[in-house]
């Protein structure tokens, strides 16, 4: 006995792949961007990291760059490239 059935899944065109950016050899004298994703507590975690980064890398610059709330920006995808203009490296968090 055989049942022939049809596949219910939608086809998904595969996206083009992209590599991630080359790493740096060390963080000293770099401008490190801490991107607060806006969820409650993310700023506290990034503040804690900022203190540690400043202590270990006194010649580095640490900047906070909060992501705007999706409720307040019509073109959020267009905002992401602006992170690159803020420094050399980024740490993004904290997602769920």
Partner 1 sequence: MPGVYFITNEFLEDAKSAARDRGMPGIRVLTLPADKYYLARDSKQELQPLANPSFDRIIDALTRPLTPEEAKPSPLQKQREDSNIRVSGKDFLDAFEKTNELFLAKHWADGLPIVPPAPELVKAMLAGSTRSPQEVIGQVAPKNGTATIEKIAINAVMAGARPEYFPVILAAMEGFTDRQYDLTHMQASTGSFTPVVMVDGPIAQELGFNSGIGMLGHGWRPNTTVGRALRLSLLNIGQTWPQVNDMALTGRLESYTFFTFAEDTARSPWEPYNVSRGFKPGDSTVTVATSVNPVVLGGGAVTPWTGQGVIVSIVARIKSGGVVWPHSQTYILVLHPDCAVDLASRGYTRRSLQEYLYEQTRVPYEKLAGPVFFGHDNETDFIRASIADGRIRSGRAQVFLDALKPGGRVPVVQSHDDFHIVVAGGSPGYDLLFSYPGTNWANQTKRISGATLTSAGR
The answer to the question of residue 28 lying near partner 1 (CB under 8 A) is no
Indicate which single residue of 58, 59, 78, 96 sits in contact with partner 1 (rule: CB under 8 A): 96
- Asked if 32 and 1 touch (Cβ cutoff 8 Å), the reply is no
What is the secondary structure of 59-77 as a DSSP string? Answer: TSEEEE-PPPPGGG-S-HH
28 token code pair? 């000293």
Taking the complex as a whole, how short is the minimal distance between the CB of residue 73 and partner 1, in angstroms?
A: 5
Q: Report in angstroms the alpha-carbon separations of 90 from 7, 13, 80.
A: 42, 30, 12
The answer to the question of residue 16 lying near partner 1 (CB under 8 A) is yes
The answer to the question of residue 4 lying near partner 1 (CB under 8 A) is yes
Binding site for partner 1 (CB under 8 A): 1-27, 36, 38, 40-45, 47-49, 51-52, 56, 66-74, 83-84, 88-96
């Amino acid at each position: 006995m055989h049942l022939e059935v049809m596949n219910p899944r939608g086809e998904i065109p595969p996206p083009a792949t992209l590599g991630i950016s080359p790493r740096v050899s060390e963080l000293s004298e770099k401008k490190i961007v801490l991107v607060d994703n806006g969820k409650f507590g993310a700023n506290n975690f990034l503040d804690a990291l900022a203190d540690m980064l400043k202590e270990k890398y006194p010649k580095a610059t640490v900047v906070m760059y909060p992501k705007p709330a999706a409720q307040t920006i019509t073109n959020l995808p267009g905002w992401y490239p602006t992170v690159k203009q803020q420094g050399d490296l980024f740490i993004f968090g904290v997602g769920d």
